[in-house]
Amino acid sequence: MLQILRRMKRPDVFRALSALLFISLQVWLDLALPEIMSTITRLIITPGSSLREVWSCGARMLLFALGSGAASVAVGYLAARISSNFSYSLRGEVFSRVSEFGAREMKSFSTASLITRTTNDITQVQLLISMGLQVVVRAPIMAVWAILKIVGKSWQLSLVVAGAVLLMLCVILFLMRLVLPRFRIIQHQIDQVNRIARENLTGLRIVRAFNAEDYQMAKFDRASAALMKTQLYTSRRLAVLMPFIGLSMNVLSLAIYWTGALLINGIAPVSAEAVAARISLFSEVVVFFTYAMFVVLSFMMLVLIFMMLPRAQVSAGRILEVLSTSPEVREGSGAHPLEKGTLSFRHVSFRYPDALRDCLHDLTFEVRSGETVAFIGATGSGKTTLVSLAARLYDATGGKILLDGKDIRSYTFRQLSERIALVSQKAVLLSGSIRENLTFGNAAAPFTAQDCERALDISQSLGFVSSLQDGMDAHVAQGGANFSGGQRQRLSIARALARKPEILIFDDSFSALDYRTDAALRRRLEEEMKGTTRLIVAQRIGTIRHADRIVVLEEGRIAGIGTHDALMRECAVYREIALSQLSRAELEVG
Amino acid sequence: MQRRRQRIPEKPRDLKASLRSLLAYCRRNLGVLLFSLLLAAASALLNIVSPRLISRITDQITQGLASGIDMGAIAATGSLMIAINLSSAFFGFAQHALMAGFNQRLSRRLRGDISGKINRLRLSYFNFHEYGDVLSRVTNDVDTIAMSLSNSLASMVSSAAQFSGCILMMFLTCWPLACTSLLSVLLSLVLISRLVKVSQKHFVSRQVSLGSLNAFIEEMYAGHDLIRTSGAREQVRSRFDAYNEAVRGATFRSQFLSGLMQPMMAFAGNLGYVSVCVAGAFLAMRGQITFGVIAAFMIYVRQFQSPVQQIGQSMTNLQSAAAAAERVFQFLGEDEMEDDSGRPRRISRVRGEVIFRNVRFAYPDKPDRPVIRDFSARILPGQKVAIVGPTGAGKTTLVNLLMRFYELSGGEILIDGISIRDLSRAEIHDLFGMVLQDAWLFEGTVRENLVYNLPHADEAALREACRSCGLDGFISALPQGYDTVLDDNTAISAGQKQLMTIARAMLQNRPMMILDEATSSVDTRTEQLTLTAMDRLTRQRTSFVIAHRLSTIRNADLILVLREGDIVEQGTHEALMAKGGFYASLYNSQFEQAVSSGESPDAAKE
């Protein structure tokens, strides 16, 4: 918790300090109030005091009360400012840290958990800070101040109060020990609930087609019930807390008076002096009682924090976990490229974290400027991994990759994104307009309307986009849900084209297109993007047949490199793939 | 950047309406709620007595100052007080424990209902609503409701009990002073209600801005790779900052306003105290009341100041509960598909004849732009039907209509002569196995993923399905075989995922099949395997296949060629090729480059 508080910005630290001043002022005024009250009481009880005296005393009291109220408003203002600022900047930090993450960190945290960490967890911490400032700071000040007022009055009474406070602390600590570990479990269970709901949302059609609504519901309910059970456990334990504190408060006041009565009875009322001593002892007991209540009250306020602390602490831990994870793929400091549009793999191998063996082994090949290189191979042969390395979503675990003659790791992300555009297997569209999707991110040159139009045209999207009511400004739902699979893919291709990169990478991004569109698109690419280096991962021989070179992958190794014709002659793996798709006759025409 | 958000309500609906619907929602458990509220009231009333007993003890001490204190009397009062306090604490504990049960059951029910609602909404709902927003209701909003609703109700009830107890005692003691102190309370009530009204708006806007932020974060985290490769970090960051800023503003305002409550109440309490003193002194000097009465009133004023404060505090809590409830019930109140689960099963033995008769479909919000215009076809039992056509022609929509994911705008679809309108959706879904382009797997074991929703899956059938999909090698290589948990960390390719969904459909063994681009992310070597298996699967089953790779559907019994929502051609591959129409050109285009080998007219142009 303290660790996370250290991230507070300087102006907010000043705000916190001035809040401290206001709190002290408020405590001073609050503690002064009982004295004025007892003056008023005395005035009323003493016969012969004038109404004016009561008035002026009352006015003083109101003045103090007003002052205390004003101080409290100021504290509330500052606390609201600090906590909203703090959560604002913390959320910003977490978000930008996550945006620095590579694919690897995203996977190890999981998207759902990162979302909760960025939203819910931060809200928890914020709640604690806003309450904490008013209570954590105020309670000790009040306790110390009140103790100072009664200190040295009577050791017997002090003992009673100390005993009560000790007992309360013991009970609270015991409860915390029971409950604290469960809070971590609760966070985990919330993640589970979230995950299952999310899974249901993403698989909506399958869930319905399988009539699995009840199955899904039962699964959700299991997670939900587990969460309920843990929450019940903790909240039932905590249910003891408030009644216990109320009870201790009342018993304590009883104990103070009872002890007081015993003490008073210890002096026998034999003389007038003795009676006077008894009376002064009694008034001491009354004063003691008033301030003792303040002491206990401040402990009670601390308990409130204790109730919130565990959950916030777990949240803080989860936030810090994100902030302390540094991405494995680090941004380079910038490189001066020697060439343009070239890519070179030198003895590259790669292993996924926690995997037992490499999924790419010692790959070496060159991609020359303006060349089209295709990658083909069975499922799981490492095609997608290979292009992910080229786009630097991961870093190779062995060997190195040169982009334009320089190590790919020396470029800044900005330089990389200006040079390489990746069209991923799964078309990702963002909610917003089509135009916003096309001009997403930064490119070497600013996006122009012509660029967008041309990109739509090449990607065979101009037809359906212009038939939309709002054309390029038409709304795109999250994930592009209001477009068909093929349309999504074409739009994501258009997005890459609009960037006008040196190198285009298509990771199986024609799979949802029908042959006609696929062919038309490739023809236009050939015509319009001549100078652009292209890397194409594909399943269909037809898609890649005319690549300048084809790299055949099998189980992470290169099984052959060459043109279609050469591979047909020399590479058994390639021949097998080709024959499974096209009849011998169709192949022989070529 | 301007982004559309239909969700944001123009004006927040009122506090009362959402609270009323929340209470109506808890109707079933209202007994528990009422009982625990009763306990809260009892505990509070017993608590009122304590200070009176304390003042009795002080009286007993004062009386004995000159002579000697009657310790016996003090012991009697003290034990009475301890007894009362113990029972009050017990009631309090019982109330908290009951309330915790009520709370957690309520949240579980809310979560369950939201989750169930997801499956009853029309599919098109999600074209315009973001997942993150729904998810934030499942966790954040439900949490807020559970945390604030019952606790604030309990403290309101106990405060109210304490409050009315005090008032009663006050009026019994001296009515002019009672009126004086009530006036000060009235003042604070007016202040509270004003404040509540103002801050309610800000509470709603806080929840709304949090929802938008959530949705944005969800989308950005899901599209993480895209952001990296597009170099969009700064751009995304600045958009995030805008959302974050909105949350900051709304949080600050709602928090500050609710923070005002406490000092206002405290001041009103002090004002009441002073006015009682002044008015009391005035009355006492005129000899109308004794000093004892004033002393008692000082205690009363203190005692009923705190419930008023607590009511204020509970009002703020209730507000956040209401704002969250508003969002949850808004979601729960969305239009659903009609419930047809009660319909009797009408097809006992499926023949598998499907007739499309003048089918028409347009999205409800765009009735003038039909996706399917006029589609008619008759599919005989056991036929393998391929639906082909350019993207956007309405192929998937057709399947969605057949499965009744969408409702027809016109015409009808008959299965074995019965209109699907007369069948329950569950019955229709039971007739079809389905494999989709997006391979959907969830976190769970391989086995759970494969035998999805089959209570009695046969192990042999499972292995057989995996073997015929070529998955057995892959699965046995996994650390725990079929019991390996698939999660984000499992390295599994898109093709393997797809194969698993195919195996899943095989296991379901439904009388008819729908394969919507099922093989598009499987590489062709693997596809060969799959196709063989699927051929076995589709044999003697009416099946609908949507495929881009036309070579995979050459053996279909009937090919329906779709173009812009209309059937333009239908027939077998041979017949359509012979006809030389749209299909033939579509078919040839896939080999265009392969066949022409750089000598096509297009290539010559370059």
> What pLDDT, in 10s, does the model give residues B446-503?
998 998 888 777 888 898 888 888 788 888 888 888 888 887 667 677 778 888 888 8
* B143: pLDDT strictly greater than 90: no
**More confident: A45 or A547:** A547
Instruction: Work out the average pLDDT over A393-414.
Output: 90
Tell me, what DSSP letter sits at residue A370? T
Structure tokens at B559: 């090919």
How high does pLDDT run on average in chain B? 81
* Per-residue confidence (pLDDT) for residue B296, from 0 to 100: 72
Q: B247, A442: Cβ pair inside 8 Å? A: no
User: According to the model, what pLDDT value does residue B3 have?
Assistant: 34
Interface mutation target, options A205, A270, A460, chain B, most CBs of B under 10 Å: A205
Q: Does the beta carbon of B1 lie under 8 angstroms from any beta carbon of chain A?
A: yes
pLDDT digits (tens, 9 = 90+) for B351-375: 889 999 999 998 877 777 788 888 8
> Searching chain A, which residue's CA lies closest to the CA of residue B51?
A250
pLDDT for the residue A573: 80
Judged by CB atoms closer than 8 Å, whether chains meet at B266 and A213 is answered as no
Residue B469 dihedral angles phi and psi, to the nearest 5°: -95, 5
Question: Is the pLDDT higher at A137 or at A399?
Answer: A399
Averaged confidence pLDDT in chain A: 85
Q: What is the pLDDT of residues A436-462, one digit of tens each?
A: 888 888 777 788 888 889 999 999 998
On the question of pLDDT at B2 being above 70, the answer is no
DSSP assignment of B293-362: HHHHHHHHHHHHHHHHHHHHHHHHHHHHHHHHHHHHHHHHTS-BPPP-TTSPP--SS----EEEEEEEE-
Would strands A549-554 and A557-562 be described as parallel, antiparallel, or unpaired? antiparallel
Phi, psi torsion values for B571, nearest 5 degrees:
155, -170
Tens digit of each residue's pLDDT (9 = 90 or more) over A343-379: 999 999 998 776 667 788 899 999 999 999 999 987 6
Q: pLDDT band for B13, please (50, 70, 90 cuts).
A: low
Judging contacts by C-beta atoms under 8 Å, the chain A residues touching residue B143 are 120
> Residue B548: pLDDT above 80?
no
Cβ-based contacts under 8 A for chains A and B: 544
Q: Report the residue count for chain B.
A: 606
Q: How many residues does chain A have?
A: 590
Closest CB to A250 among B85, B120, B247: B85
Write the residue in A108, A206, A254 that is nearest to B82 by C-beta. Answer: A254
**Which pLDDT belongs to residue A347?**
94
CB of B123 closer than 8 Å to CB of B396: no
Counting beta carbons within 10 angstroms of the beta carbon of residue A167, is it exposed (0 to 12), middle (13 to 18) or buried (19 or more)? middle
Residue of A nearest to B78 (CA): A254
* pLDDT at position B412: 93
A20-76 pLDDT, tens digit per residue, is 999 999 889 888 887 787 777 777 766 667 778 888 888 888 899 889 889 989 998
CA distance B337 to B429: 15
Six-digit token pair at A151? 């200190």
Instruction: Indicate yes or no: CB of B550 within 8 angstroms of CB of A515.
Output: yes
- CB within 8 Å: A43 and B585: no
* Angle value at C-alpha B479, between B474 and B485, nearest 5 degrees: 90
* Distance (Å, whole) CA A260 – CA A283: 10
d(CA A313, CA A128) in angstroms, rounded, equals 9
pLDDT of residue A93: 92
> Per residue in B107-136, pLDDT tens?
999 999 999 999 888 888 887 777 777 888
How far is Cα B296 from Cα A46, in angstroms, rounded to an integer? 16
Comparing alpha-carbon positions, the chain A residue that sits nearest to B474 is A380
Instruction: State the number of CA atoms in the 13 A half-sphere of A464 facing the CB.
Output: 23
- Please judge whether B50 and A250 are an interchain contact, meaning their C-beta atoms are less than 8 angstroms apart: yes
Residue A167 pLDDT exceeds 50: yes
More confident residue, B381 or B275: B381
Say if CB B482 and CB B446 are below 8 A apart: yes
Which of the four pLDDT bands, split at 50, 70 and 90, describes residue B292?
Answer: low
Mean pLDDT of B381-395: 82
CA distance B304 to B168: 11
Q: Among residues 442-471 of chain B, which lie with CB inside 8 Å of chain A? A: 442-443, 452-453
Q: Give yes or no for residue B597 having a pLDDT over 50.
A: no
For position B87, what pLDDT does the model report? Answer: 93
pLDDT at residue B8 in the model:
32
The answer to whether B522 contacts A235, with C-beta atoms less than 8 Å apart, is: no
Answer whether A514 sits within 8 Å of B524, measured CB to CB: no
* DSSP state string for B468-489: HTT-HHHHHHSTTGGGPEE-TT
Beta-carbon separation of A430 and B135 below 8 A:
no
Task: Out of B85, B443, B508, name the one closest to residue A247 (CB).
Answer: B85
Per-residue pLDDT tens for A293-338? 788 778 777 777 776 777 788 889 889 999 998 888 888 888 888 8
State both tokens at A166. Answer: 């000790």
Pick from B596, B77, B56, B134: nearest CA to B296:
B56
Cβ–Cβ gap B440/A88 under 8 Å = no
Q: Which member of B224, B432, B595 has the closest CB to residue A586?
A: B595
B409 at A interface, C-beta within 8 A: no
Q: B90: buried, middle or exposed (CB in 10 Å: 19+, 13-18, 0-12)?
A: middle
**What is the rounded CA–CA span in Å between residue A274 and residue B546?**
106
pLDDT at A94: 93
Confidence of residue A291 (pLDDT cuts 50, 70, 90): confident
Residue percentage of chain A with pLDDT more than 70: 96
Whether residues A118 and B298 touch (CB distance < 8 A) is answered with: no
The answer to whether B417 contacts chain A (CB < 8 Å) is no
Q: Choose between B532 and B99: higher pLDDT.
A: B99
Output B23 or B10, whichever has higher pLDDT.
Answer: B23
- Say how far apart CA B538 and CA B383 lie, in whole Å: 9
A420/B229 CB distance under 8 A? yes
Q: CA dist B334 to A466, B328, B329, B401, Å?
A: 32, 10, 8, 21
DSSP B6: S
Residue A146 near residue A295 (C-beta atoms within 8 A):
yes
Instruction: Determine the Cα–Cα distance for residues A429 and A13; give it in Å rounded to an integer.
Output: 41
Of the candidates B358, B503, B346, the one whose C-alpha atom is nearest the C-alpha of residue B431 is B346
pLDDT band at B521 (very low <50, low <70, confident <90, very high): low
Are B359 and B375 in contact, with CB atoms under 8 Å apart? Answer: yes
Q: Is B9 helix (H, G, I), strand (E, B) or coil?
A: coil
Residue range A282-301: average pLDDT? Answer: 78
* Per-residue confidence (pLDDT) for residue B12, from 0 to 100: 37
Pairing mode of beta strands B384-388, A475-476: unpaired
Distance CA A288, CA B154 (A): 33
Tell me the residues of chain B between 254 and 313 that have a Cβ less than 8 Å away from chain A: 255-256, 259-260, 262-264, 266-267, 270-271, 273-275, 277-278, 280-282, 284-285, 291, 294-295, 298
Among candidates A380, A413, A418, which has minimal Cα distance to A395?
Answer: A413
* Residue B417 zone, left/alpha/beta (φ > 0; ψ -120 to 50; rest): left
Q: Which residues of A touch B522 (CB under 8 A)?
A: 379, 539
- Give the distance, in angstroms, between the CA of residue A378 and the centroid of all CA atoms in the same chain: 37
Task: For chain B, give percent helix, strand, coil, nearest 5.
Answer: 65, 10, 25
Report the chain B residue with the minimal C-alpha distance to residue A105.
B489
The count of C-alpha atoms lying within 13 angstroms of the C-alpha of B217, restricted to the half-sphere facing its C-beta, is: 31
In this predicted structure, the answer to whether residue B9 has a pLDDT above a threshold of 60 is: no
Query: Among residues B196, B187, B198, B176, which one has the least CA distance to residue B267?
Result: B187
Q: Give the C-alpha separation, A159 to A152, whole Å.
A: 11
CA nearest neighbour of A259 among A232, A290, A236, A282: A282
Is pLDDT at B301 greater than 80 in this prediction?
A: no
Classify residue B412 as exposed, middle or buried by CB count within 10 Å of its CB (0-12, 13-18, 19+): middle
What are the phi and psi torsion angles at B570 (to 5°)? -150, 150
Cβ count near B47 (within 10 Å):
24
Number of neighbouring beta carbons within 10 Å of residue B404: 20
Average pLDDT for A154-172: 86
DSSP label at residue B140: I
Q: What is the 3-state secondary structure (H, E, C) of B394-406?
A: CHHHHHHHHCCCC
Predicted local distance difference test score (pLDDT) of residue B84: 92
Whole-angstrom distance, CA of residue A231 vs CA of residue B589: 61
Render B217-250 in DSSP notation, one character per residue. HHHHHHTHHHHHHHT-HHHHHHHHHHHHHHHHHH
The whole-number pLDDT of residue B598 equals: 36
Considering only residues B321 and B524, tell me which one the structure prediction assigns the higher pLDDT.
Answer: B321
Which of B276, B523, B531, B605 to mutate to test binding with chain A, by most A CBs within 10 Å of its CB?
B523
Distance CA B603, CA B606 (A): 6
Buried b (16+ CB within 10 A) or exposed e, A205-226: bbbbbbbbbeebbebbbebbbb
Q: State which residue of chain A sits closest to B266, comparing Cα positions.
A: A69
What residues form DSSP beta bridges with A558? Answer: A553
